[in-house]
Chain A
Amino acid sequence: MRARVFVTLKPSVFDPQGRTIADALHSLGYGSVQAVRQGKYFELDLATTEAAKAKVLAAEVADKLLANPVIESYRIEVE
C-alpha cells in the first residue's frame, strides 16, 4: 500500500516561506490568493495490504520522525 503524509506547520506557527510565496503571487497579480502555507509531502511504500494497518504505521513514523509535534501537524491518506 501507499501512504501519503502531508506535514504542515501548525496554524499558530508563523510560516515565513508561505508568506513570501503569497507576497510573490500577489505581485504577479494573483490577489485572490489570500494565504499560502508551505508544507512537506512524503510518499511511503508500505509492505502491507490493509489500509488500517497502513494508516497506523504511517501515523507512527509521522509521530516519530516525519513531523515535529512542537511546530507541525500532519494528515495521512492511504490507498
Chain B
Amino acid sequence: MLTRAGDTVKFAVIVFPGSNCDEDAYHAATAVLGQKAEYVWHKDTDLKGADVVVLPGGFAHGDYLRTGAMARFSPIMREVRTFAERGGPVLGICNGFQVLLEAGLLPGAMLRNRGLKFRCEHVHIRVEQTDTPFTLACRGGQVLRMPIAHGEGNYFAEPDVIARLEANRQVIFRYTTAEGELRDDANPNGSVSAIAGICNDTRNVVGLMPHPERACESPLGSADGLLIFESVVQSLKAGALVAGA
C-alpha cells in the first residue's frame, strides 16, 4: 500500500481466462510508467495489496453468451467490488469495461457495434470530466487519440439512466472528431450520446472502450493514453500525501 508520496504505485492487473491485453496493461504500468504491477488470476481471492485495479481488454471466457457475462462470477470480482466500495480506483478497459457493466459496478450495457463489425483503429475521445482518479491530469475538453478494438462497444442505457449519468457528470469520455466536435461519423460504434467511457457515482470506478495502454508510446501512434495512467499515479500520491500529512 502507498504510504508516502515517494512510493511507487502498485497496479493489480486482473487476468481472466481469455484476457489478452493483460500484458499490455502490465507493460504500460511498469516499463513505461515505472510503477509496480502484479497479475492477479481470476480465481485468486486477494488483490495483493494493490493501490489500483485494472480490468484489461480481451475476450474473457471467450465473450461467449455476452461480453463480460461470465467473468463477473470469478472469485476475484468479490475483492474488486469491496476494493471499489472502499473508494479504491478501478479502471476497466474495453472487455474490462464490459465486465464492470455486467457486474453492475457501472450502469448500462454493450450492444454490437452498429456496423456489426469489429473495428480496430485510432479514434478521438474528448475528456468530459477531470475529477476522477483516471482523468485528473487531463484538461477539461482535451481531445485524446487512442485506438479502439472491439465488436461490442455500442453503449446503451435507458434514457432515465443516461439522464442521471449526465446530471451527475458521470460521462467521462465521448467520441469526437480530432477537433473535439461531436459528429455522428466520429462515433465508431453507435454508442448513445457518443459515450466512450463513464464512471460510477463515487467516481473511483471508470470504464472506457478505447485502449489507453495501447497509446503510451509514440512509436505505437500515440502517447495520449499515458495521461490516464499518470492521472491515477498522481491521484494516489496526492492521497498518500494528505494521509501522511
Contacts and interface: CB of A to CB of B under 8 A. Distances in A.
A12 to B, nearest CB: 7
A13 B156 CA distance: 8
A74 to B, nearest CB: 13
A20 B116 contact: yes
**Chain B contact residues, majority secondary structure:** loop
Interface string B149-161: 0000010111000
B70 interface: yes
Contact of A16 (B107, B109, B114): B114
B111 A68 contact: no
Interface of B: 65-66, 69-70, 73, 101-102, 107-109, 111-116, 154, 156-158, 190
26 contacts: A9-B111, A13-B156, A14-B111, A14-B114, A14-B156, A14-B190, A16-B111, A16-B113, A16-B114, A16-B115, A16-B154, A16-B190, A17-B116, A20-B116, A65-B65, A65-B69, A65-B70, A65-B73, A68-B109, A70-B107, A70-B108, A70-B156, A70-B157, A70-B158, A71-B109, A71-B156
